[in-house]
């Protein structure tokens, strides 16, 4: 069994965000058809990429999650459900998913990059 990566906790948070996104039309009586379809498709993409990242991490999975999050932020205006209740869920979950994906990319990069600590040279005081 593979060792659990600390960054995988962020994928679990993305799974929770996807579950909220998937349940939002029923929990909050959202009636806009394009928003419901957008929520279902986006939640499926987030779940697929987050599970893939948990079991076999690759940077591209997080980049796709970031793109799906950005799509959720702009989709109310593109699909025509801006200024209704569904817009708030789309933008809010989009911000969370994008933040978590970019944070995971940054943490993985930071862990693998060599940290250079400046050392004083002998001629300087």
User: 36-68, pLDDT tens digit by residue?
Assistant: 999 999 999 999 999 998 888 888 999 999 999
Asked if the structure places residue 27 within a domain, the reply is: yes
Asked if the structure places residue 122 within a domain, the reply is: no
Asked if the structure places residue 121 within a domain, the reply is: no
Please give the Cα distance from 100 to 61 (Å, whole number): 12
Count of structural domains within the chain: 1
Q: What is the pLDDT of residue 115?
A: 63
Asked if the structure places residue 72 within a domain, the reply is: yes
Asked if the structure places residue 42 within a domain, the reply is: yes
| 3-state secondary structure labels for all residues of the chain | CCCCCCCHHHHHHHHHHHHHHHHHHHHCCCCCHHHHHHHHHHHHHHHHHHHHHHHCCCHHHHHHHHHHHHHHHHHHHHHCCCCCHHHHHHHHHHHHHHHHHHHHHHHHHHHHCCCCCCCCCCCCC
Asked if the structure places residue 2 within a domain, the reply is: no
Asked if the structure places residue 100 within a domain, the reply is: yes
Query: Where is pLDDT greater, at 64 or 117?
Result: 64
CB neighbours of residue 100 within 10 Å: 25
- The range of the structural domain enclosing residue 46 comes to 8-110
Asked if the structure places residue 30 within a domain, the reply is: yes
Query: Where is pLDDT greater, at 92 or 9?
Result: 92
Single pTM value for the model: 0.82
């Amino acid at each position: 069994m593979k060792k659990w990566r600390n960054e995988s906790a962020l994928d679990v948070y993305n799974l929770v965000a996807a579950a909220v996104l998937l349940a939002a039309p029923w929990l909050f009586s959202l009636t806009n058809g394009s928003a419901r379809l957008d929520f279902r498709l986006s939640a499926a993409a987030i779940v697929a990429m987050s599970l893939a990242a948990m079991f076999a991490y690759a940077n591209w999975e997080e980049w796709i999650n970031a793109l799906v999050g950005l799509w959720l932020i702009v989709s109310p205006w593109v699909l025509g459900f801006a200024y209704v209740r569904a817009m708030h869920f789309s933008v809010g979950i989009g911000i969370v998913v994008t933040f978590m994906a970019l944070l995971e990319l940054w943490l993985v990069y930071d862990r693998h990059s060599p940290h250079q600590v400046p050392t004083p040279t002998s001629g300087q005081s």
